[in-house]
Amino acid sequence: MASLKELKNRIKSVKSTQKITKAKQMVAAAKLRRAQAAAEAARPYSQRLAKVMGSLATRVSGDSAPLLLRGTGKAERHLLVVVNTDKGLCGGLNANIVKAAKLQARELIAQGKQVEFYLVGRKGRAPIKRDYAASVKTEYDTSAVRNLGFTEAEAIADDLVTKFEAGQFDVAHLVYPVFKSALAQDPTVVQIMPVPTPEGAAMQAGADAVVEYEPDEETILGELLPRYIRTQLFVALLEREASEQGASMTAMDNATRNAGDLINKLTIQYNRSRQAAITTELIEIIAGAEAL
């Protein structure tokens, strides 16, 4: 059984940990408001851009379509762009993202496809490298960036477009968390290259058949498709930030509660041990007095 001094030191240590987790919870809650607002503000723009792009995509076909739309004509080499966080202490967020990426990789490999990884963020590197070390081709570090913005999304998108145009892969999938609430962040896998035509775009194109574009659709798509990919990555980074703060707030809240429960248990154990020690001393005193 632990001594009274050991129990007292342990209670003091847990209380110090509880103060840290409580502080981190409050910091995450403050950051979550800004991150959630940014993620929610970007969603309508991304959705509207996808609709415009889909309307244009239905008007071009064959060799006249840009490479980012028509693709390489093959689907053998797949690139998984996995967006993880740079910091820990956010529950199972990164584990769920890695799990979704590995599941997608296993499904593609089972179909006879070649799979490579493009890792964004630090926390997803180690678990993916354990199973697919030879398949990790690029690691984009965002840990030094204090406030992620469109600049980082543009750099990643331009790098991916360059690799795609160089023929280094045929299809690219984006794996990232979608913020639902502080308790729920759902890993999502979407194809970003070649750019898929949104569902219902053909029907919408029929309704908008009287629309004429100047310049022509191919020229507009040539400018719009890279911007669409940058926007998708920007939205993914914003969703990552909101998901990270939400998961961190929930994890720190749970840690604070667990620390409180542990403090109560240790306090009870300390009081019992102290009472037992006092009782033993009283018994010894009474026994000594009776012996006299």
11 found inside a domain: no
209 found inside a domain: yes
Report the pLDDT value the prediction gives residue 54, as an integer from 0 to 100.
Answer: 76
Distance CA 147, CA 154 (A): 14
60 found inside a domain: yes
H-helix or E-strand containing 222? helix 217-291
Q: What are the pLDDT tens digits along the chain (292 aa)?
A: 678 888 889 999 999 999 999 999 999 999 999 999 999 999 898 888 888 877 777 777 666 677 888 888 888 999 999 999 988 888 889 999 999 999 999 999 999 999 999 999 888 888 999 989 889 888 888 887 777 788 889 999 999 999 998 889 999 999 999 998 888 899 999 998 888 876 554 445 445 455 666 677 777 777 888 898 999 999 999 999 999 999 999 999 999 999 999 999 999 998 988 888 888 888 888 887 777 6
264 found inside a domain: no
Strands of the sheet containing 171-179, edge to edge, are: 136-140, 114-120, 77-83, 171-179, 185-193
CATH of residue 219's domain is 3.40.1380.10
Catalytic residue list? 90
277 found inside a domain: no
Report the pLDDT value the prediction gives residue 202, as an integer from 0 to 100.
Answer: 47
187 found inside a domain: yes
Residue-number span of the structural domain to which 166 is assigned? 44-250
185 found inside a domain: yes
Q: How many domains does the chain have?
A: 1
Give me 159's structure tokens: 């790098």
Count other C-beta atoms under 10 Å from residue 87's C-beta.
12
Task: Look at residues 11, 39, 14 and name the one whose alpha carbon lies nearest to residue 258.
Answer: 14
Distance CA 246, CA 254 (A): 12
Burial string for 134-148 (b: 16+ CB within 10 Å, else e) reads: ebbebeeebeeeeeb
14 found inside a domain: no
For every residue of 31-100, DSSP letters joined together read HHHHHHHHHHHHHHHHHHHHHHHHHHHTT--GGGS-HHHH--S--SEEEEEEE--SS--STTHHHHHHHH
99, 104, 110, 115: CA torsion to nearest 10:
-110
Report the pLDDT value the prediction gives residue 220, as an integer from 0 to 100.
Answer: 78
